[in-house]
Amino acid sequence: MGDEADRESDITEGGDASFDPWPSQAQIHVEWGVPGALLAARRGDLVVVVDVLSFSTSVVEVVARDGIAFCYSPEELDEQGGRDRAGSIHDAVVLSKQRNVAPGEVSLSPASLRSISFGERVVMTSLNGGRCTAAAADAPWVGIGCLTNRVAVARRVEGLLADGAATRCTVVPCAEVWSGPFMASQVGDLGSSAIPLRPSVEDLLGAGAIVAALGPQLPRSVEATIAAATFGSHSGRLASVLQGCVSGRELRERGFHEDVEIATQLDAHAVVPERALGDPLHRFATHST
């Protein structure tokens, strides 16, 4: 009983401030969401943001066409004066708020971004990937990764670690925010005290794919090892897994089958959207392998 009371007291009072959830001997770790990105940046880690459906996949589509992605959280866009203002500042195309757009317009749908001009500049945001990218702003290097560029990201991370840009890398699967009509109709109002986040299958697989592509000489945390093993056990059927997971089923039901298909195209691109410390804030451009 005493031990249980002590644990309860630790939780109530904030626990042991000296505890570090990042394993000291691991160079590669996997941690979820905005807190994971923020804490990794504060540690001085390289950060890879993974939001497979669809922020990361969309950013890679832009950069693969030699474009530049200006990545914002929704809150940062509001501070900038809105989407149109950010587009004017960067002389860039702005993604539509709606995923379903007319031909020639662009949105967070990777399929729509395949029509952009070579070298296009695009202002991008999302609830999950945009927020995690913003949270990692103080990291020495931030890369955008997914299934379609996982080997390129792994090679880039290996090179940066070998060059001494950092001693560790945290791969951040972004997870999903429960929102929209589904949330309202199925669950109702959770209240301000709830955290409507759902760890997502697709982001775990994306993070694991990147970890699995890294050289075995880099020590991994348990979390990174499990992510890589999860990818390894499903790598032969990525299309069916992404089609069948909650996020994939939602997109398919809304008519975005092609977006799910694009996201499963393993190693389709050899580019890494990246921003190093000291680069212009929000600007992600290519590093080609």
* Segment among 67-71, 75-79, 194-198 with least mean pLDDT: 194-198
Give the chain's mean pLDDT.
90
Q: Report which of residues 195 and 173 the model is more confident about.
A: 173
The full set of domain ranges for the chain reads 26-281
Residue 19's pLDDT band (boundaries 50, 70, 90)?
confident
Q: How confident is the model at residue 185 (pLDDT cuts 50, 70, 90)?
A: low
Q: Is the pLDDT of residue 189 over 50?
A: yes
Which 3 state secondary structure label does DSSP give 96?
Answer: coil
- Residue 4: exposed, middle, or buried by beta-carbon count in 10 A (0-12, 13-18, 19+)? exposed
Tell me the range of 149-158, 176-185, 190-199 where mean pLDDT is highest: 149-158
Q: Is 143 left (phi over 0), alpha (psi -120 to 50) or beta?
A: beta
Contacts for 245 with CB less than 8 Å, ≥ 6 apart: 200, 201, 202
Distance CA 148, CA 168 (A): 23
Termini Cα distance of the chain: 57
pLDDT tens digits, one per residue of 39-64? 999 999 999 999 999 999 999 999 99
Give pLDDT, residue 1. 46
Pairwise pLDDT comparison (39 vs 13), residue with the higher score: 39
pLDDT of residue 16: 65
- By residue count, the chain amounts to 289
The fold of 26-281 is putative 2-phosphosulfolactate phosphatase (3.90.1560)
Pick the residue with more confidence: 104 or 72?
72
CA separation for the pair 276, 173 (Å, rounded): 20
For residue 88, is pLDDT > 70?
yes
Q: Assign 223 to helix, strand or coil.
A: helix
Listed residue (53, 33, 60) closest to 201, CA to CA: 53
Q: Which residue has the higher pLDDT, 9 or 152?
A: 152
Distance (Å, rounded) from C-alpha 213 to C-alpha 151? 6
| 3-class DSSP assignment, residue 122 | strand
The whole-number average pLDDT for the span 240-247 is 96
Mean pLDDT over 70-78 rounds to 96
Whole-model pTM: value is 0.91
pLDDT of residue 11: 44
